[in-house]
Structure 1
Amino acid sequence: MRFASTRQRRRLATGIAGVAIGALALTACSGGGGDAAEGEAPTEVTALITPEQDAGFEPYYAGFTEDTGFEFDPTTVEVNSLVEQLRIEINSGTASDIVRVSLGSLTVGVLPLAEEGALLDLSDEPWAADVPETFSGLLKTDDQTWAYPTSGQSILMFYNRAVFEEAGVEPPTTWSEFLDVCADLKDAGVTPVAQGLGTPAMVQFIPYMLAATLVSSENDDIDAQMQAGDTSFVDDEGWNEVFDKYTQLIDEEYITQDAIGATLDAAMQQTAAGDAAMIPLVSSNSPALFSYFEDGEDGVGAFALPATDDPEETFVPLSPELLAVSATAKNPEGAKAFLEYLSDPERAAEYADATKTLPILAGVEALPSTVGDALQPFLASQQFVPFVNHRWVNGDTQAALMQNGPLLATGGASIQDVLAAMDAAYALG
């Protein structure tokens, strides 16, 4: 879509399978303007981003053009299809000026792309100094910064306010309090925590929340130690405690019965209907949950899941979404100008609020909202760490968790079985 008087839309067909949910179509809307004439400086900034990013950026397109003279010309692609589309464009040397890049070891991960020379170094940009140090290992090498963190996604425990009020319970701040809340809700005839493990990605949410406190905040070097063979999932005390606590919820029947036969969507509906009280979700998925409530977001609260009995020890998982400038950009200066325009604190906060994500840059406060209110204390105290899987050496480890984790709910696998499967996958490198 171009911010211009004439707009042209086109649809690209594809059969790419979705990573977690299912097959998604590849949708693109692109401007009809061509390249600048030979010898002329380009006036357009092209981008390959998701529809959600486009919706969040769109309020700024006119102001960006007015301030800089550049027009922003995005192609939007569903996130599950964007990975393959970006890889195709990089291989063919046709990548847009700005590209949404991934975290971790994917072929379109920011660090693998930087290593192959596909991205420009952004370390001299004014916002680079405001990237939190905890994310350095995700988007920096040495003194070079390879991407701009637009905002971050977290995982929270969302709850039905009416159900909590009727049961007379409050959001917990310790693990013991959380168990007490679950017990009170169960006694009231309500499923404490909705789980839809028929959507395999959902099995990650509670372990990742617990691991933020029990693993990542306790041992920042664990990934290097695992790569060196000095520890493993099976041997690590923190990972064993993560799954001990998760299976405790299963054994106490605090999660949806027959969870493996339910989907994420069904779990959200169960929570909205009041049949369940809580549901773990990635923050950017919260609008879907809100849509099931008669009073929308007003009917929903959220809290960080504690993992110990000291509230001061709670960390939250928070990982950034990234934009990078491709090494083959036709308008690198325009691309950098757009990222700088977005980094204005007011715009950064507004964008995060619009996309139900969190502002990442230091000094930018989250706007009041269900998600922002739950996470702002942790942002202010810097008590956040990346999602654990974003530091793993491959995607096979995450896949092993999604394949074997749901079996914990059926008795088809033990904690050691799941951890051993993750170790075997991690060893693939």
Structure 2
Amino acid sequence: MKKRTPAVLLAAVTATALLAACSGGTNAGDSGGGGGGSKTLTLASVDQGSIEDVVKAFEKANPGVKVRYTTSGADQYQQQIRTQLSSGTAPDVMSVWPGNGNPAATVVLAKPGYLRDLSDQAWAAKMPDAIKTVAQYEGKTYNAIFGQNGIGAVYNEQAMEKAGLTPPDTWTKLLAFCRDAKAKGTPAFALGNQDNWVTQLALYAMVATTVYGEDRDFDKKMQAGKATFAKSQWTTALDKYMTMDKTGCFQKNPLGTNYEASQQLAATGKTLGIIQGNWVIALLKGKNPQGTFTFKALPATDDPSATLIPAAAGAGYGVNAKTKNEDLALKFVNFVMSPEGMTLFVKKQGGLPALPDTGYAVDPSLTELATFIQADRTVPFMDQLWPNAKVQQTMLSGLQEIFSGQSTPDKLLGEMDADYKAGS
């Protein structure tokens, strides 16, 4: 899910990698083709602010090797990389997004043969299913995805202590939690639906368990035309989202509250928490440095063991299928996927490693997210596997219309089905 202004999130808003990259900029010159020099690697990256440390560490670990790299904002990069690939001037290694959502996404680049198959690399078999799904095309891995983020409930521990409440782990307890919080004059969750990309987050948290808890192959069935939004557990998830609203789980007038204001509510204890991605924790700490904030799964059933979390793979790295520097290119992506490489990235970006057992010291606020990831109890952000961006745009605007009383869940899911069937 990448944040678009004002319309959508896509592969990784999630990904602090993108947020860091969007300011643009260029480093270290040449981004041309691989050339013949086995000691010089060319690289194009959107990870401005974090790729620098990774390059330094890689060069230090490989004396005599020089990485010539460029960094740029996501939009500029996506426009350039396809032109470079088709003209034979692309670098040895390049940023690649998960899934199928933009011009530099895994499926889009792998389908015409622009990327080298990385399935033979040791880390490929270790990827959790939620990451593997969006790193592959036709069952082969093309993207070295090093980090991920999750969506859930982020609680203000001081506000929770003051209210005398604890995080719920079942659907029944969640509704009771909302009622108790409302009775104490402090709504459970801040919701900034004035920014339409926020509207999807609580819904995605519900969908993860209600839809994929019953059927991990739901996306494959959608792609095969054997399932729809309107005739699936998406109806249950959307009903639960509306039930939360009717129960008073959110502050008054979510449509009149933007993302920034919702952060302020949660950070200062005006609400007990916020339903967001783990990336919001750093923002909450910025508004309340003395505060302590903890990420927890948002339950959608009364079986805690069945709860799943939406987890988004961030942008990773692919190898140019026509590189003349294959050995060095593979060495670089393998370094990215090593414990050292992943740790360098996620420390800078505020995420979590894509692979388990890296030795990374997880921030205590993200312990539960890390536990779910290690237990393979996550599913991709839903839009990463949709055939076009229109489905998500329809969902976001439709959710705002539902909150304003201008649409209904049935109408919205029907419209999403129509956009999905239109294909790419």
Q: Same fold (TM over 0.5)?
A: yes
- Could you state the TM-score of these two structures normalised by the residue count of structure 2? 0.87
CA drift at 1:264: 0.9
Quote the Cα distance in structure 2 between the aligned partners of 1:36 and 1:230.
43
**Residue in 2 aligned with 1:379?**
373
Q: Counterparts of 1:112-191 in structure 2 under 5 Å? A: 112-142=108-138, 144-191=140-187
Quick check: 265-274 or 239-248, which moved more?
A: 265-274
Quote the Cα distance in structure 2 between the aligned partners of 1:25 and 1:354.
15
**Residue in 2 aligned with 1:209?**
205
CA drift at 1:304: 0.8
Structure 2 CA distance for partners of 1:17 and 1:190, relative to 1, 3 Å: closer
Equivalent residue of 1:279, what SS?
strand
CA drift at 1:313: 0.5
- Alignment of 1:87 with 2:87, yes or no, is no
The answer to whether the 8 A contact 1:50-1:79 is kept is no
Deviations 1:200-229 (A, max 9, x none): 111111111111111123112222322333
**Residue in 1 aligned with 2:226?**
230
- Alignment of 1:272 with 2:267, yes or no, is yes
Quote the Cα distance in structure 1 between the aligned partners of 2:187 and 2:5.
33
Equivalent residue of 1:233, what SS?
coil
Structure 2 CA distance for partners of 1:422 and 1:147, relative to 1, 3 Å: same
Deviations 1:264-297 (A, max 9, x none): 11111121122222112222343223211132xx
Equivalent residue of 1:309, what SS?
coil
Quote the Cα distance in structure 1 between the aligned partners of 2:80 and 2:156.
39
Deviations 1:120-170 (A, max 9, x none): 111222222212244433222455320111111211211211111100011
The answer to whether the 8 A contact 1:286-1:356 is kept is no
RCO higher in structure (CA 8 A, sep ≥6): 2
Q: Counterparts of 1:385-424 in structure 2 under 5 Å? A: 385-424=379-418
Aligned match of 1:41 in 38, 52, 56?
Answer: 38
**Residue in 2 aligned with 1:262?**
257
CA drift at 1:36: 9.9
Equivalent residue of 1:156, what SS?
strand
**Residue in 1 aligned with 2:16?**
none
Quote the Cα distance in structure 2 between the aligned partners of 1:175 and 1:37.
54
- Alignment of 1:305 with 2:298, yes or no, is yes
Quick check: 411-420 or 41-50, which moved more?
A: 41-50
Structure 2 CA distance for partners of 1:334 and 1:179, relative to 1, 3 Å: same
Q: Residue 419 of structure 2 aligns to which amino acid in structure 1?
A: A
The answer to whether the 8 A contact 1:318-1:387 is kept is yes
**Residue in 2 aligned with 1:284?**
279
Aligned match of 1:199 in 191, 195, 200?
Answer: 195
Quote the Cα distance in structure 2 between the aligned partners of 1:36 and 1:411.
54
The answer to whether the 8 A contact 1:325-1:335 is kept is yes
**Residue in 2 aligned with 1:31?**
28
Quick check: 251-260 or 358-367, which moved more?
A: 358-367
Quote the Cα distance in structure 2 between the aligned partners of 1:190 and 1:80.
40
Structure 2 CA distance for partners of 1:36 and 1:420, relative to 1, 3 Å: closer
Equivalent residue of 2:216, what SS?
coil
Quote the Cα distance in structure 2 between the aligned partners of 1:36 and 1:397.
36
Quote the Cα distance in structure 2 between the aligned partners of 1:181 and 1:198.
25
Structure 2 CA distance for partners of 1:40 and 1:403, relative to 1, 3 Å: same
**Residue in 1 aligned with 2:217?**
221
Deviations 1:68-121 (A, max 9, x none): 232333322233544334334334433332222222323322012101111111
Provide the alpha-carbon RMSD of the alignment: 2.7
Structure 2 CA distance for partners of 1:365 and 1:410, relative to 1, 3 Å: farther
**Residue in 1 aligned with 2:351?**
357
* Sequence identity (%): 26
Q: Residue 148 of structure 1 aligns to which amino acid in structure 2?
A: A
How many corresponding residue pairs? Answer: 408
Structure 2 CA distance for partners of 1:191 and 1:143, relative to 1, 3 Å: closer
Deviations 1:160-182 (A, max 9, x none): 11111100011111111222221
- Alignment of 1:58 with 2:68, yes or no, is no
- Could you state the TM-score of these two structures normalised by the residue count of structure 1? 0.86
The answer to whether the 8 A contact 1:119-1:146 is kept is yes
Structure 2 CA distance for partners of 1:312 and 1:113, relative to 1, 3 Å: same
Equivalent residue of 2:113, what SS?
coil
Structure 2 CA distance for partners of 1:80 and 1:19, relative to 1, 3 Å: farther
CA drift at 1:47: 2.3
CA drift at 1:385: 1.3
Equivalent residue of 1:177, what SS?
helix
Equivalent residue of 1:29, what SS?
coil
**Residue in 2 aligned with 1:5?**
none
The answer to whether the 8 A contact 1:197-1:260 is kept is yes
Structure 2 CA distance for partners of 1:330 and 1:378, relative to 1, 3 Å: same
Q: Residue 274 of structure 2 aligns to which amino acid in structure 1?
A: I
